[in-house]
Amino acid sequence: MKQALAVALIFSLFLTVSPTGIQAQGTNFLISAAVSMQDQQYQDQQYDTYFSPDQLDNLLAPVALYPDPLLAQVLLAATFPDQIDEAARNARAYGNGYNIDATDWDVSVKAVAHYPTVLSMMADKMDWTTSVGQAYANQSTDVMEAVQRLRAQARSMGNLVTSPQQEIVETDGYIYIYPAQPEYIYVPTYDPAIIYVHRGGFYGRPVLFFSMGFLIGAWLNHDCDWRNHRVFYHGWDQGGPRWIDRSRPRVHINNIYVNNNYRNVPVNRDFGNRRVNYGALDRYNSIHPKVDYNNVRRERPGGAPRQQGPAPGQQVPAPAQRDNKIIRRNIDPNDPRIGANRGRDQQPTQQQRGNVQVPRQPEVTQPQPPVTQQRGNVQVPRTGSIADADSATGPAATRQCPSAASA
């Protein structure tokens, strides 16, 4: 949406303030930019991202020990990276005075926005946030299994235990982390490179610690369903996870966050134009240090093959016309100048004569002399057929008419 508005603004500026010559150049630039945007979106739609178990371990290590209700919101909010960025900007600009509940962000983004440290972390690590969102959107089962794998590692090292801030419950092979206090939730701080692989006693100090607690509110309306490998909406119904029974009497329920419309938990699979520098994700290699992320983009099943560069001298067919509402809204998609900006091959300008390249001459159809017949000593156009009539009206016939008249 923002890019569409930017294109429209640039287009209006060129139309209103540019001289004729500059306006033409500006229009060409706009057409080229719009077509390039369209082609890039088309190429991105052919690919999905899929992370290996080692890659997921590294990506999820910083949040795998978050309490379940907060982790659920982080996973969902990560599928809305643009909203996360907008929420962080507003939080920094207006502080605690900003009315989060009145925004049109996804309910998960609103929930995360109530915890400034988490929101700031996600906004500052946008490549990481977008990658986590892509992983949950495409591989929710693998994501939930990776979190359980990391929790088991931390627990086996003795670093994940019940405390005044969190309650650790292990049931049916799954490790649950609940808020221990009915009114407050605590966000843990830890070094992933240590907590999953070393015992805390080795360092002579705890490897997991907590700062001040944050209020538990109606916005914590999701939780983790480990058996079904998903995030689910609980709506503060009784009979759910036991942390809900503890906290519900302290929570003001409102229809902003408790609404039957949320029972089908949405997962945003449209990441728009948010580009990820996957090569920079190796900074999160705290568990598996030798993992690289340059292979995470994979072609979708049934999608078009990855585009390869043409061989020297190879004729490249023009790309198929694709409908795009952004272009239709701002420019004429039938403008012939678009073809020139799509990289279509132009007619060759040279031809070979022996060993010398010479300019190709334009092909011109030479006029044919009219079919004539003899009348005495004068040549006059032949009549009686459509072909003869066409010839008689051509340039050659015009040149011969005066001679016939003078004769």
Is the Cβ–Cβ distance between 331 and 31 less than 8 Å? yes
253-278: pLDDT as tens digits: 999 999 999 999 978 888 766 889 99
**How far is Cα 134 from Cα 275, in angstroms, rounded to an integer?**
11
Q: Is residue 333, in this structure, part of any structural domain at all?
A: yes
- pLDDT at position 269 is 85
Domain range for 124: 48-299
In the predicted model, is pLDDT for residue 235 greater than 70?
yes
> Are residues 142 and 218 part of one domain?
yes
Co-location of 37 and 105 in the same domain = no
Question: Does 393 map to a domain?
Answer: no
Task: Determine the length of the chain.
Answer: 407
* Same domain (yes/no): 113, 32: no
Whether residue 382 is contained in a domain is answered as no
165 and 40 belong to one structural domain: no
Same domain, 38 and 63: no
The model's pTM is 0.66
Residue among 262, 47, 49 nearest 137 (CA): 49
The whole-angstrom separation of Cα 155 and Cα 65 is 10
Q: Specify if 377 maps to a domain.
A: no
**Is 387 domain-assigned?**
no
Cβ of 218: how many Cβ atoms within 10 Å? 18
pLDDT of 267 reads 86
> Which of the listed residues 299, 315, 349 is the one where a domain comes to its end?
299
39 and 132 co-located in one domain: no
Phi then psi dihedrals of residue 291, to 5 deg: -75, 140
Is there a single domain that holds both residue 35 and residue 99?
no
Calculate the average pLDDT of the chain. Answer: 77
Average pLDDT of span 283-292: 94
Residue type, 391: S
Whether residues 55 and 25 share a domain: the answer is no
Q: How many CA atoms lie within 13 A of 373 on its CB side?
A: 7
| 135 and 155 share one domain | yes
Mark whether 269 and 181 lie in a shared domain: yes
Q: Summarize pLDDT for 21-47 with one digit per residue, the tens.
A: 545 555 555 555 444 444 444 444 557
| 348 domain-assigned | no
Average pLDDT over residues 384-393: 44
Q: Predicted confidence band at 3 (pLDDT cuts at 50, 70, 90)?
A: low
